[in-house]
Structure 1
Amino acid sequence: MDIPRIFNISESAHRIHNPFTPEKLATLGAALRLETGTQVLDLGSGSGEMLCTWARDYGVIGTGIDMSQLFSEQAKLRAEELGVADQVQFIHGDAAGYVAGEKAGVAACIGATWIAGGVTGTIELLARSLRTGGIILIGEPYWRQLPPTEDVARGCLAGSISDFLMLPQLLAS
């Protein structure tokens, strides 16, 4: 099992596979008020940057699952590099249908809600791994402004304008 080769080629040098920066990850971690020992599940974890940096910065523990063999290996190397390999594990596998054995304080899927058929299905999937009082964290692309043409949408790496919703429609879905 692996993602299409184009993603391994185009994103292999990326530590973060979404339109995020290290500063945004730090801000998000602070906003979540992560505490030492918080269990985090990251479905579609990519190269593990979110989980690894939160393990280093906040002392979280957790599991990341990604279908890319390359990204899963990069995540393990990043955990070693940051000295958090004893706090996090990365599994090469299909995150669709994955339910954690230990309930998480934060169950996340950033940029990969296709694993459960969209936002609603992903929320339902993450909820199965969430402890009472935990937080579901979803990152989903949306249009801030509709592209004027299908060609422009494809230039934004969407298949078509209909691939993404405007934020109000996404929230209503």
Structure 2
Amino acid sequence: MDLPRNFTIRESSHRIHNPFTSEKLAALGQALHLAPGTRALDLASGSGEMLCTWAHAHGITGTGVDISTEFTTGARLRAAELGVADQVVFIHGDAAGWVADEPVDLSACIGATWIGGGVAGTIDLLRRSLRPGGLLLIGEPYWRRAPLDQRIAEACHASSEDDFRLLPELIEQFGELGCDVVEMVLADQDSWDRYQAAQWLNIRRWLDRNPDDELAAELRAELSEEPARYARYQREYLGWGVFALMDR
């Protein structure tokens, strides 16, 4: 049980595996007015940056669950680096279907709503761990502008335009699912650049070290094509944000 190796190669230097900078992550933590002792569950927690930095800055406690052995190891090292290893725990496991043993104050899935089969299913999953009156956090893409055709949608790693919604429509969807949107912090194009461009450097450095690896041809082709495709399509059409929700 693990992520594909090409994914971990692309994001080997990332602390945040989404188009979100450390500054935006800190701004979100401040905006939520997190109290010391807040109990959090982070499903698909990646390298643990949210839990670790919020434990350090706000005194929260929490558990992260992620399918990647490499990212989980990195999360534990990050917790030790920040001196919060006694506040946060990281588990290597499948976050799909994961429910906390005791209700938490904050239940999150940042950028991996595939674990619940989409936004609706992931909100239902997060609710199963949440105390009444707690906060849900969802990180999700949205269209900055609607793609003109199927080709553009696929260039943004969508199977069709229907994979994502425009921002107002996504916010309306949260309401239809019984949630109030109480805060949001959105990625901007610079956030996307920091996330995507770092992948290109990771790939190039890996290729230089591993020219004969079985993945080398695939990643060489990706590095040759991806920067222009990203600049032409994804940077212009695709947004991303983290939305704080409370059940009505």
Say whether the fold is shared (TM-score over 0.5). Answer: yes
Q: Partner amino acid for 1:8?
A: T
Could you tell me which residue of structure 2 aligns to residue 31 of structure 1? Answer: 31
Unaligned runs of 5+ in 2: 174-248
SS in 2 for 1:140: strand
Counterpart in 1 of 2:166?
A: 166
Q: CA deviation at 1:11?
A: 1.0
Aligned-residue offset at 1:169: 2.9
**Equivalent residue, structure 2, for 1:96:** 96
| Corresponding letter in the other structure for 2:132 | T
Deviations 1:29-62 (Å, cap 9, x if unpaired)? Answer: 1111101110010001110001100000000000
> More deviation in 163-172 or 15-24?
163-172
The answer to which structure, 1 or 2, has the higher relative contact order (CA under 8 A, 6+ apart) is 2
Structure 1: gaps (5+ residues): none
Structure 2 counterpart of 1:156, one-letter code: C
**Paired residue for 1:129?**
129
Instruction: Please tell me the residue identity of whatever aligns with 2:47.
Output: S
**Aligned AA (2:115):** I
Q: TM-score, normalised by structure 1?
A: 0.94
Equivalent AA in structure 2 for residue 43 of structure 1: L
Displacement of 1:154: 3.3
Deviations 1:104-141 (A, max 9, x none): 11101110011001111111111111112111111111
The CA distance in 2 between the partners of 1:151 and 1:75, in whole Å, is 37
1:40 aligns with 2:40: yes
- Partner residue, 1:84: 84
How far 1:168 sits from its partner (Å)? Answer: 2.9
Paired amino acid for 1:55 = A
Larger Rg: 2
Residue 63 of structure 1 corresponds to 63
Partner of residue 205, structure 2? none
1: CA distance between counterparts of 2:149 and 2:78? 40
| Secondary structure at 2:100 match in 1 | coil
Distance apart, 1:164 and its partner CA: 1.5
Which structure has the highest helix share of the two?
2
Could you list the per-position Cα deviations for residues 148-173 of structure 1 after superposition, in whole angstroms to 9, with x for gaps in the alignment?
34343333333443322222332343
* Residue in 2 that maps onto 1:21: 21
SS for the counterpart of 2:143 is coil
1:77-106 Cα shifts (integer Å, max 9, x gaps): 111111111100001111111000121111
- Which residue of structure 1 lines up, in the alignment, with residue 9 of structure 2? 9
Q: Does 1:140 align with 2:140?
A: yes
Report the more deviating stretch, 161-170 or 28-37: 161-170
d(CA) in 2 for partners of 1:15, 1:157: 22
Q: Distance in 2 between matches of 1:33 and 1:99?
A: 25
